[in-house]
Structure 1
Amino acid sequence: MLQPFDRILSGYDRLSEVAVSIEDCGKLYRKYESLGVQGYRVWSYQGASYLNYYLHCSVDRVPTLIYKNKYLIPLIFRSSKESEALFDAPYRMEGFFALLDWLVEHRPQKALIDYDKEKEKEILYWVVDSSYIAFRLYEIIEGAGFPLSHFRSADEFEGWNRIYSLINSDRIGRHSRSFDPSNPEQLSELQMILKIVKLKYPKTMLFV
């Protein structure tokens, strides 16, 4: 159960946030230990994240999961449908970790709060932007899951993606391809997305 969370300090208007209780952290740890969760703890942190529209804020004493001995996942989210959906079914958290792993490898600045490559050796734990990952996961499963589960080729996906931009190449121009299957990172991202979609729609074809 997500509960109201009111320990966020910011110079801006308060938003509506919710968090997992510390009591439920133990259940999540036991449930997802096989996926890399190593424990839980209460943690305070500062930074700019999706939680507060990328404005700097301080979060005091929030329950977090310890993941792969390197990351802290704050169990605090915007009060929204994507946050509530995250705990609807076990496969959603499995998708959460798959998405996190991919982002950490390819776009750590999106997955980790105030990521700085130069500080890699100094940081005990990186704090995960869990609110962003919950949003992106919802976008993949609910916004794109059903059509992707019916595609049989990269060409079909490319035509659909040109309209909906689930994967964005950041290229500008009328004839630019929004998805380029010859781009290793984009191909890897599509493979990760299809595996997440397959968690909800088992008949999804991994066509790349």
Structure 2
Amino acid sequence: MVRKIQTITHNKIISNFRVLSGLTISIEDCAYLTKQFQAYGVDDYYISDYQGNSYLTRYVDYFIDSIPCWTYKRKYFVPLIFRDTPDTQKMFQDDYRWKAFFVLLDWYLKYSPEKVIIQTTNNKFKVIDTAFLTFRLWEICDGAAFPIANLNNLSEFEKWNQASHLIDTGRSFKQTREFDDTKEADLTQLEAVISIIKMKYQAILLKQGYQL
């Protein structure tokens, strides 16, 4: 990102007959970021409505009116609607986070799509749970980056992960089994996590003037 993106309040979320609010961005900023993120698989942007349930409302059914969305790899909608939390603000403060977002999204779409695809009535595109992925990035970048950077081998990571439960091996935020280094899904998820953490520290070094 080159220019600063400001989040704005979106007051058109209806859930259980209540009007809720979240954060989004302007249409102009959505169009700008569409061009910036084409290399990651973003095709175009739309203003769309959708109905479903997701991490945005803690999995209570809701309807959202007129929200900016990206189309991703011609198959998915990525609605730009977020919870009003610090992890959302960091998405628009740290340039590396959106690249990391797409790394994480691609892993989930391949190995655990049910975690990130919202059940909706939209028959043309599958709708991505943007709020959940934003939360997962916060877990990785702000909760796990420092301790993982100080681990020396896979054995140390496995011991740390038994207490921290970073690797997603369960359902509904509950770990149903331990990390298994014989499973492709677990190893590739760890690979994605490490690549995201590298992005974070590379961004820090660049800000400090180091040439990478």
TM-score (norm 2): 0.85
Q: Who is 2:159 aligned against?
A: 159
Q: 1:4 aligns with which of 3, 6, 9?
A: 9
**Partner deviation per Cα, 1:27-86 (whole Å, 9 max, x = no partner):** 101111111111111010000110111011110110011111111111110100111111
- CA deviation after TM superposition for structure 1 residue 149, in Å: 1.8
Corresponding position: 1:128 with 2:133: no
Task: Give the 5 Å matches for 1:32-71.
Answer: 32-71=37-76
**Partner deviation per Cα, 1:99-122 (whole Å, 9 max, x = no partner):** 11111111111111017xxx9xx9
Distance 1:6 1:177, change over 3 A: closer
RMSD: 2.0
Contact 2:40/2:99 (CA < 8 Å) preserved in 1? yes
Q: 27-36 or 15-24, which moves further after superposition?
A: 15-24
Q: 5-14 or 51-60, which moves further after superposition?
A: 5-14
Q: In structure 2, list runs of 5 or more residues that go unmatched.
A: 1-5, 171-175, 204-212
Distance 1:66 1:180, change over 3 A: same
Aligned residues: 193
Tell me how far apart the structure 2 counterparts of residues 169 and 33 of structure 1 sit (CA, whole Å). Answer: 30
Tell me how far apart the structure 1 counterparts of residues 159 and 196 of structure 2 sit (CA, whole Å). Answer: 20
Contact 2:12/2:21 (CA < 8 Å) preserved in 1? no
What secondary structure sits across from 1:83 in the alignment?
Answer: helix
What secondary structure sits across from 1:28 in the alignment?
Answer: helix
Contact 1:168/1:178 (CA < 8 Å) preserved in 2? no
Q: Who is 2:84 aligned against?
A: 79
Q: Who is 1:201 aligned against?
A: 201
Identity of aligned residues (%): 36
Q: In structure 1, list runs of 5 or more residues that go unmatched.
A: 171-175, 204-208
TM-score (norm 1): 0.87
